[in-house]
Structure 1
Amino acid sequence: MTKPAQTRTPAKGQKLRIAAVADLHVKESGSESYRDLFTEMSTKADVLVMAGDLTDLGKKAEAERLASDLRSCTIPMVAVLGNHDFECGAVDDVRSILKDAGVHLLEGQAVEINGVGFAGVKGFAGGFGRHMLGSFGEPAIKAMVAESMEETMRLENALRQVRSERAMVVLHYAPIAETVEGEPKEIYPFLGSSRLAETIDRFPVSAVVHGHAHRGRFEGRTPGGAPVYNVAAHIEKPTGRPYAIIEL
């Protein structure tokens, strides 16, 4: 059963403070604990958002370690999975453990918390702009493009569920090239897809967060003007901490 999260309810018209982080890569036998970080974020924000790669290899034991650390979080938790969370083929266990820990795990769904709608999917690769991969040639290429398009459709379905005036999109893969700048250009096609941005720009989205690009840039915008934040733990942020604070 999902445990109810404790939270401060912002007054009507008050901004919601969101602590956003990605790429924690919790390891099975690592000595690092995130308990203190989750406690800290609980004092700084009204909602915690985690944008994928929560575990390092997608192992059940890694998810259990993360769930244990999340006990120190006293605010609602929203997350999407990342590519690392699928690595060992135990993604069903990872999902179950995170949900039992009280995480709103989004895979093409939306959830509303204190007047803000959160719509999320993992996303997928495919490239950006005129360099985006097309569905042509070998079946393997067509399958890759089909997966990218399927994730985009899941995002559209999630955004259609949002009824609030303020909305945040939660992804793992990047929707724009601007926030992956700093990574080798040769791997851009594997870091995200413009298809995600095209869908985002059809809806009134207040902000977008993603991870995956550890050496990217913190901030950018979709072609339609939606703010995009790369919240990978490794990215330098205005807070000076592994997480960003975003107010909606």
Structure 2
Amino acid sequence: MATKKEKKTRIAAVGDIHVRETDRGKWEEFFRKASEEADVLLLCGDLTDTGRTAEAEVLAQEMKVCTIPVVAVLGNHDYERDNQKSIRKALLRDNVYVLDGDSIVIGDVGFAGVKGFGGGFDRGMLGMFGEPMIKSFVQEAVDEALKLDGALARLENDHIDIKKIAVLHYAPIKATVVGEPEQIFPFLGSSRLAEPINRRGVIAAFHGHAHIGTLEGETSKGVKVFNVSRPILQQEGYDPTYYIFEV
């Protein structure tokens, strides 16, 4: 007897959309197209251009035409004016989830999300040593990795055989920031974010932030990582500017 074909979940992913107050009407077609081609849309940080709540309100209005669930994390631009709480509030509605150390299950796919932070990669990763300000910088990266680990652990504990996706803004591996000046690698992501991704059975991770990085890489354990920063997708010829991944 023929086995029933498993239905796949199509994920559209993009980061760094940098919505401005003057963007009214600019994004509606983007969200309509994503709704037609995917089952879930991931927004990987830098949703606003300068961290103004008014920019998030424009984005929220544009997203009203989106008929599929949206899973988002905030980025460094969204924290620029310390308005991250009001930006998150402006975006939240039915089927729009802004994750910060928490998770959401859609169908048989679980999404865990954090902003992430810098600190560098592999042997170049900054250690917890030196002046208090350096230690605070490193601690932020540690805290973000712990938040991601906690969100993935809850998915693991609450759902049997769930397929896990990590949603980030900062990069968890060096390979997907290659193309940027090496001097700024420590500010583009941290290998600490890769540790829970490797340990918790994640099948893919998506991030943005590095506008001239590399589209695809993988962790030391072979987990696929995609840098879906909009400028990279544009340069790679994606139109509309999102990357489709099937789970």
Q: What TM-score do the two structures reach when normalised by structure 1? A: 0.92
Whether contact under 8 Å (1:70, 1:101) holds in the other structure is no
Query: Which residue of 2 is the match for residue 242 of structure 1?
Result: 241
Whether contact under 8 Å (1:20, 1:50) holds in the other structure is yes
Whether contact under 8 Å (1:26, 1:63) holds in the other structure is yes
Whether contact under 8 Å (1:232, 1:242) holds in the other structure is no
Describe the SS at the equivalent of 1:229.
strand
1:58 aligns with 2:51: yes
Task: Say if 1:13 and 1:238 are closer, same or farther in 2 by CA, change over 3 A.
Answer: farther
Query: Which residue of 2 is the match for residue 151 of structure 1?
Result: 144
Query: Which residue of 2 is the match for residue 5 of structure 1?
Result: none
Structure 1, 163-172 or 55-64: larger mean CA deviation? 163-172
- Any idea what the Cα deviations from partners look like across 1:133-165, whole Å, max 9, x if unmatched? 011111110000000000000000000111243
The one-letter amino acid paired with 2:30 is: L
Q: Distance in 2 between matches of 1:89 and 1:156?
A: 25
Q: Distance in 1 between matches of 2:173 and 2:237?
A: 20
**Alignment match of 2:108 (pick from 115, 119, 124):** 115
Unaligned runs of 5+ in 1: 1-10
Q: Distance in 1 between matches of 2:102 and 2:24?
A: 34
- The count of aligned residue pairs is 238
Whether contact under 8 Å (2:32, 2:66) holds in the other structure is yes
Query: Which residue of 2 is the match for residue 228 of structure 1?
Result: 225
Q: What TM-score do the two structures reach when normalised by structure 2? A: 0.93
Query: Which residue of 2 is the match for residue 210 of structure 1?
Result: 207
Describe the SS at the equivalent of 1:56.
coil
Structure 1, 59-68 or 155-164: larger mean CA deviation? 155-164
Percent identity for Structure 1 against Structure 2: 50
Query: Which residue of 1 is the match for residue 71 of structure 2?
Result: 78
Describe the SS at the equivalent of 2:199.
coil
Unaligned runs of 5+ in 2: none
Q: Distance in 2 between matches of 1:109 and 1:180?
A: 25
Root mean square deviation of aligned Cα: 1.5
**1:235 Cα shift?**
0.8
1:165 aligns with 2:166: no
**1:72 Cα shift?**
1.1
Whether contact under 8 Å (1:22, 1:52) holds in the other structure is yes
Describe the SS at the equivalent of 1:126.
coil
Structure 1, 224-233 or 30-39: larger mean CA deviation? 30-39
Q: Distance in 2 between matches of 1:99 and 1:183?
A: 33
**1:240 Cα shift?**
4.4
1:184 aligns with 2:177: no
Write the mapping of 1:38-49 to structure 2, written as runs, cut at 5 A. 38-49=31-42
The one-letter amino acid paired with 1:98 is: L
**1:198 Cα shift?**
1.4
Q: Distance in 2 between matches of 1:208 and 1:57?
A: 25
Moved over 3 A (4+): 236-241
Whether contact under 8 Å (1:119, 1:168) holds in the other structure is yes
Question: Higher helix proportion, which one?
Answer: 2
Describe the SS at the equivalent of 1:50.
strand
- Any idea what the Cα deviations from partners look like across 1:182-210, whole Å, max 9, x if unmatched? 10000000000000111210011111000
